[in-house]
């Protein structure tokens, strides 16, 4: 890269528009949408879509709600010509959908284009020619009056051809290609010439479509260019003002949004931003940006994953995992504070109330996305996300201090594995830590419980790590106290029970109980949690007590080993 890039690249000039209005406007309704997936999107593919893929994508665009669809370049490709004819001849274009076909300003190409669309109820013929200085001089070798004459000449031809077919409502779309790089006075002169040549007005509908053929400036400059044109175009009330942003600077959506503020009424783009170079305007992002401002976009992305699958299959291009609204990772939080806030947000969100879940700009459910992947756990995760997954997938509600304890266990494993821990892996770790620890000193086999009149007596049958069986009895106010007393008398374990809780896991005949005990042991710093699961509540409680006792014993032994080691 150059140390002095200004020697090679010059900033795009600003627009003289001191009284610009667009910065203080708001977008209040959805624009008219045109999908150019089958034309600009298609012409940017390694392998343009075949007939089958084009028809499939056309049907999907109709299903999504597009009312204007650019179906191809029928004068450039026999496949495109045949598809347009197929759609019209087989009545596959719904009554409220208008096809559009593009053509250069060359007589034979225009004749072919009109032939391809004959018999349609309504059809848009899309004329384009570049107007910026480099194209005028290098590509066409024409000055501005010659460009204007070329436009007028071919529009007159189109009038002749289409006037001869009054059964179709013909619409002219004129695009001054390279508009964003051209002098505004030149673009205006060419567009006004086109408007007059078509005689736009009642019964002669026309669209003027202003592209960022190559995006070369900040979005505010494009908005100024659009407002400048919007204020000066002739017969403005009879013209639909459209924009066709590309995304070379990564601001295609911003250009479209600001152009809508500046007077544009219609936008052209592709699903998920497919298109030449860094793509066309991403129609899905723009539509969902409107949706999240409370504006109905008129396009249905309520199963966005299915739309993505079809787009990927038809274009053979993958969608990035962080692509707005649709990427695999956009409803996923790895970091602890985000997970915590999302989990709290879901708990606080009332049905029907305005959306207020932190870090999620849209309710994933509105797009047919499940919450499955919202919270994912790696070494950056905290207790909030971990407990959210355990609760959501396994119905286990951890008390707050246990969340802290278990998140340290998870952190250790995530750090060691340097990988994400899925919900299953998390559950296995929970089981290994609390429910079935492999190195437990004592395992539960069975118990019996009897009323003593002033309390309960329990007999525990436990197995030691070597497989030996032991039977101990204790009494207390309830089964936990009785079991703790049995362990105290037999092993000298003076357990202090700080907390106990129990919840049902599942419903009906298969329901199980999950008991959680927090206990302390003299000589071991802090408390340890234990968990037990069983269809019997008392058994679950005894297992939970034993789980806490085993964990305290293991830590006591580890402390002894450390103390015995030479410093
Ligand atoms: C910005 C956009 O996306 S515009 C759409 C671009 N899409 C495509 O080009 C895809 C389909 N195109 C094609 O298949 C071919 O270009 C065709 C069939 C249309 C024309 O093919 P060819 O006749 O071989 O011409 P070629 O592809 O080389 O195009 C360049 C010629 O078109 C002329 N041309 C380019 N744009 C236009 C235009 N809008 N109107 C009139 N002539 C034009 C150029 O001046 C050049 O003419 P020259 O050969 O006399 O110098
Ligand atoms: C034909 C025009 C609208 C175009 O595709 C562009 O300029 O990018």
For 466-505, how does the pLDDT look when each residue is reduced to its tens digit (9 = 90+)? 999 999 999 999 999 999 999 999 999 999 999 999 999 9
Which whole-number Å values give the CA distances from 287 to 293, 322, 464, in the listed order?
10, 17, 64
In sequence order, what are the beta bridge partners of 282?
A: 270
Q: List alpha helices for 50-200, DSSP H.
A: 51-64, 78-89, 107-117, 133-134, 144-163, 184-198
Residue 439 has pLDDT above 70, yes or no: yes
Secondary element (H or E) of residue 118: none
Quote the percentage of the chain above a pLDDT of 70: 99
Q: Which pLDDT belongs to residue 480?
A: 95
Q: Which pLDDT belongs to residue 508?
A: 77
Give the torsion sign (CA, 140, 146, 148, 150): negative
Q: Is 87 exposed, middle or buried (0-12, 13-18, 19+ CB in 10 A)?
A: buried
Residue 372 has pLDDT above 60, yes or no: no
40 lines ligand 2 (CB under 6 A): yes
Please give the distance, rounded to the nearest whole angstrom, from the Cα atom of residue 159 to the centre of ligand 2: 22
- What is the residue with the minimal CA distance to atom 8 of ligand 2? 213
Q: Which pLDDT belongs to residue 195?
A: 98
Residue 221 has pLDDT above 60, yes or no: yes
Query: What atom in ligand 2 is closest to the CA of residue 39?
Result: 5
How is the chain split among helix, strand and coil, in percent rounded to 5? 45, 20, 35
DSSP state of 509: G
* 262 φ, ψ (degrees, to nearest 5): -90, 0
Q: Which pLDDT belongs to residue 507?
A: 76
Whether 181 and 223 have beta carbons less than 8 Å apart is answered as no
Whether 126 and 100 have beta carbons less than 8 Å apart is answered as yes
Residue 373 has pLDDT above 70, yes or no: no
Which whole-number Å values give the CA distances from 309 to 60, 280, 303, 313, 328, in the listed order?
11, 19, 10, 6, 12
73 lines ligand 1 (CB under 6 A): yes
Query: What atom in ligand 2 is closest to the CA of residue 40?
Result: 5
Which whole-number Å values give the CA distances from 512 to 191, 209, 436, 480, 531, in the listed order?
74, 65, 16, 18, 13
Select from 244, 245, 248, 269 the residue to mutate for testing ligand 2; criterion: most ligand atoms less than 8 Å from CB. 244
Mean pLDDT calculated for residue range 170-199: 98
Query: d(Cα 530, Cα 547) in Å, to the nearest integer?
Result: 4
Select from 101, 213, 214 the residue to mutate for testing ligand 2; criterion: most ligand atoms less than 8 Å from CB. 213
Which whole-number Å values give the CA distances from 362 to 68, 219, 293, 319, in the listed order?
27, 24, 10, 19
Q: List alpha helices for 349-498, DSSP H.
A: 383-394, 400-417, 423-430, 479-491
Tell me the ligand closest to 105's alpha carbon.
1
40 is annotated as contributing to ligand binding: yes
103 lines ligand 1 (CB under 6 A): no
Query: What atom in ligand 2 is closest to the CA of residue 214?
Result: 8
518 lines ligand 1 (CB under 6 A): no
406 lines ligand 2 (CB under 6 A): no
- Residue 210 sits at the vertex; the CA angle it makes with 10 and 217, to the nearest 5 degrees, is 20
Q: Which pLDDT belongs to residue 374?
A: 66
Write the pLDDT tens digit of every residue in 278-329. Answer: 999 999 999 999 999 999 999 999 999 999 999 999 999 999 989 999 998 8
Tell me the ligand closest to 207's alpha carbon.
2
Question: What is the token pair recorded at 407?
Answer: 């998140």
Buried b (16+ CB within 10 A) or exposed e, 108-147: ebbebbbbbbbebbbbbbbbbbbbbeebbeeeeeeebeeb
Select from 211, 264, 280 the residue to mutate for testing ligand 2; criterion: most ligand atoms less than 8 Å from CB. 211
Residue 45 has pLDDT above 80, yes or no: yes
DSSP 60-85: HHHHHT-SEEEEE-TTT-HHHHHHHH
Q: Which pLDDT belongs to residue 379?
A: 72
Query: d(Cα 270, Cα 256) in Å, to the nearest integer?
Result: 13
Confidence band, pLDDT 50/70/90 cuts, at residue 147: very high
153 is annotated as contributing to ligand binding: no
Confidence band, pLDDT 50/70/90 cuts, at residue 528: very high
Helices 400-417, 423-430: axis angle to 10 degrees equals 120
Please give the distance, rounded to the nearest whole angstrom, from the Cα atom of residue 104 to the centre of ligand 1: 6
Collapsing DSSP to helix, strand or coil, 154 comes out as helix
507 is annotated as contributing to ligand binding: no
Mean pLDDT calculated for residue range 110-133: 98
Question: What is the token pair recorded at 32?
Answer: 């008219």
Query: What atom in ligand 1 is closest to the CA of residue 127?
Result: 39
Q: Specify the pTM.
A: 0.81
Question: Which single residue is written with the structure tokens 């600003």?
Answer: 14
pLDDT-wise least confident of 112-126, 130-144, 364-378, 439-453: 364-378
Question: What is the token pair recorded at 121?
Answer: 């109820």
Write the pLDDT tens digit of every residue in 346-358. Answer: 999 999 999 999 9
Select from 130, 175, 246 the residue to mutate for testing ligand 2; criterion: most ligand atoms less than 8 Å from CB. 175
Residue 371 has pLDDT above 70, yes or no: no
């Amino acid at each position: 890269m150059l140390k002095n890039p200004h020697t090679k690249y010059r900033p795009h000039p600003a627009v003289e528009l001191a009284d610009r209005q667009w910065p203080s406007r708001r977008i209040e309704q959805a624009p008219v949408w045109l999908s150019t997936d089958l034309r600009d999107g298609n012409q940017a593919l390694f392998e343009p879509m075949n007939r089958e893929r084009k028809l499939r994508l056309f049907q999907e665009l109709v299903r999504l709600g597009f009312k204007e669809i650019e179906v191809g370049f029928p004068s450039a490709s026999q496949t495109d010509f045949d598809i347009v004819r197929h759609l019209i001849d087989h009545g596959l274009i719904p009554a409220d959908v208008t096809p559009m076909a593009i053509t250069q300003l060359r007589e034979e190409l225009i004749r072919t284009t009109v032939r391809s669309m004959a018999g349609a109820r309504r059809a848009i013929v899309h004329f384009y020619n570049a107007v910026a200085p480099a194209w005028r001089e290098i590509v066409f070798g024409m000055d501005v009056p010659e460009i204007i004459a070329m436009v007028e000449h071919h529009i007159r031809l189109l009038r002749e051809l289409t006037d001869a077919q009054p059964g179709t409502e013909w619409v002219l779309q004129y695009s001054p290609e390279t508009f964003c790089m051209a002098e505004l006075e030149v673009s205006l002169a060419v567009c006004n010439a086109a408007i007059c040549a078509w005689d736009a007005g009642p019964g002669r509908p026309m669209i003027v479509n202003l592209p960022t053929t190559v995006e070369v400036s900040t979005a505010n400059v494009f908005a100024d260019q659009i407002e400048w044109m919007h204020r000066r175009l002739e017969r403005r009330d009879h013209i639909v003002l459209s924009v066709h942003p590309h995304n070379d600077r990564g601001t295609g959506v911003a250009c479209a949004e600001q152009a809508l503020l500046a007077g544009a009424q219609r936008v052209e783009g592709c699903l998920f931003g497919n298109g030449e170079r860094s793509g066309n305007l991403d129609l899905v992002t723009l539509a969902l940006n409107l949706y999240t401002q409370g504006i109905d976009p008129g396009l249905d992305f309520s199963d966005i994953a299915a739309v993505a699958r079809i787009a990927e299959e038809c274009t053979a291009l993958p969608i990035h995992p962080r692509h707005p609204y649709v990427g695999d990772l956009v409803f996923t939080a790895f970091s602890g504070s985000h997970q915590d806030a999302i989990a709290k947000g879901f708990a606080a969100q009332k049905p029907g109330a305005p959306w207020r879940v932190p870090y999620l700009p849209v309710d994933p459910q509105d797009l047919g996305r499940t919450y499955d992947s919202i919270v994912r756990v790696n070494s950056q995760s905290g207790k909030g996300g971990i407990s959210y997954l355990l609760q959501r997938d396994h119905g286990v509600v951890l008390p707050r201090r246990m969340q802290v304890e278990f998140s340290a266990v998870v952190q250790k494993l995530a750090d060691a594995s340097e990988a994400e821990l899925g919900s299953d892996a998390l559950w296995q770790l929970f089981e290994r830590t609390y429910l079935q620890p492999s190195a437990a000193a004592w395992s539960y086999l069975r118990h019996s419980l009897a009323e003593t009149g002033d309390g309960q007596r329990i007999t525990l049958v436990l197995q030691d790590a070597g497989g030996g069986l032991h039977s101990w009895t204790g009494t207390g106010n309830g089964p936990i106290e009785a079991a703790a007393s049995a362990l105290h008398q037999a092993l000298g374990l003076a357990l202090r029970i700080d907390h106990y809780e129990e919840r049902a896991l599942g419903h009906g005949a298969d329901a199980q109980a999950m008991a959680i005990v927090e206990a302390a042991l003299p000589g071991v710093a802090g408390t340890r949690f234990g968990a037990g699961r069983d269809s019997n509540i008392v058994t679950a409680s005894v297992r939970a007590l034993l789980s806490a006792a085993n964990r305290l014993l293991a830590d006591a032994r580890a402390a002894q080993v450390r103390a015995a080691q030479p410093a």
